[in-house]
Chain A
């Protein structure tokens, strides 16, 4: 199996405070990894650092995407190379329509891949197809990105964007929080349908329930800035019972 992502001894801080303290993780193509861990452990920090959020400073370590130095790439290049983050808190962008936003994103990625931009018609067909996957309403197109969306709609919209962009590495940061039971099923099915033997997913969650739908190959416990335990999906069940006390 080909190595997709390799994180070696990653240290990162924000506002001068060290959050990631020597994190190691290898993800191969075709794998789904769940990351669980107490509030404030650094899970969202890890997703921010992997996607190049300028608020965070990497102080040591390496991250390689298919062998290339991920940390040296601009955030938009990482995205075009196939790193996608479903944000824990998706951002509202008043005045920028979903259509305009998504079309720009898709065509920037296509240009990066040396492909022609999609025509208006091709683009709209693609939108329609992917919206069906997430059971999203048509009227979404003309609304501003995430503006006035409910918590659950925002999360669905993240996975819709993932379906549009077909990333090779999807990081889902608490995508299940705020979803009702039906929405959870729809979102999870959407994620599962996007799975291929070539791509991989990192699923950050607090709840075992999501992992009934999106079945992970590995479950990691992230505590105090490090991966402190790795197991299979039974580890999630164990954590649900006993909590994180023994990792504190």
Chain B
């Protein structure tokens, strides 16, 4: 594991694209800001790869900001586990997590989201959202939120849902002449867009541009 400290007021913004595995531990001092984007999307790699993402954040100073956005699009036998461990030890900070999985074929996804708000961490704002889209009956998703909230004056929300493509939307698109496969892809892209849209333009890795172009599809 690689632990690093973000000093007072420092800022870290980073995209992790198709890392074979990620083990990150960050300690945030007062007023520091972390924005992490974890994208697992690589249909060209070998199909039995198992990826483990572990992101641990300790807000050790007042008024820290943490944002974690994760997207995994899995096919074949791929397995991705994403764990987040966010601890608010001191108050006045915020954390926001949006974790999305798209699971096709026999792929398996797992999200474990541990969120701790210590007794002294008053006025903390923490949000954790996990949304998953199953494209195949053989795909599997496991979600384990673990919330430990010991402070009383906080705003904390969490939500998790796993669903399938909207049949009514699929039919609506087909009724306009859009082939079923393409209609599915449009809906999958729309689902992924929510995470990909968060990545600032300056941080977008070249290898992600074709995907983003196909998703955006907005005619200039």
Contacts and interface: CB of A to CB of B under 8 A. Distances in A.
A142 B166 CA distance: 21
Contacts of A54: 167, 171
Contacts of B167: 54-55
Given A100-B186, A100-B217, A165 B172 contact: no
Contact of A161 (B176, B183, B187): B176
B219 A103 contact: yes
Interface stretch (A3-11, A24-32, A83-91): A83-91
Contacts of A103: 217, 219
B193 A95 contact: yes
Nearest to A91: B172
A100 B176 contact: no
B49 interface: no
Nearest to A78: B175
Interface stretch (A104-112, A204-212, A225-233): A104-112
A91 B169 contact: yes
B168, B171, B216 interface centre (most CB from chain A within 10 Å): B171
Task: Pick the most buried of B182, B187, B219: most chain A CB atoms within 10 A of its CB.
Answer: B219
B9 interface: no
Contacts of A101: 173, 176, 178, 186
Interface residues of B, number: 28
B182 A104 contact: yes
B182 A87 contact: no
Contacts of B190: 93-96, 144
B152 interface: no
Contacts of A85: 175
A161 to B, nearest CB: 6
A75 B169 CA distance: 13
A97 interface: yes
B177 A123 contact: no
Nearest to B181: A76
B172 A74 contact: no
Interface string A115-159: 000001001100000000000000000101100000000000000
Listed from nearest, the 3 A-B pairs whose CB atoms lie closest are: A95-B190, A100-B217, A79-B177
Interface of B: 166-169, 171-180, 182-183, 186-187, 189-191, 193-194, 216-220
15 contacts: A74-B180, A75-B171, A76-B179, A87-B175, A91-B166, A91-B168, A91-B171, A92-B169, A94-B190, A96-B190, A100-B218, A101-B178, A104-B182, A105-B177, A120-B219
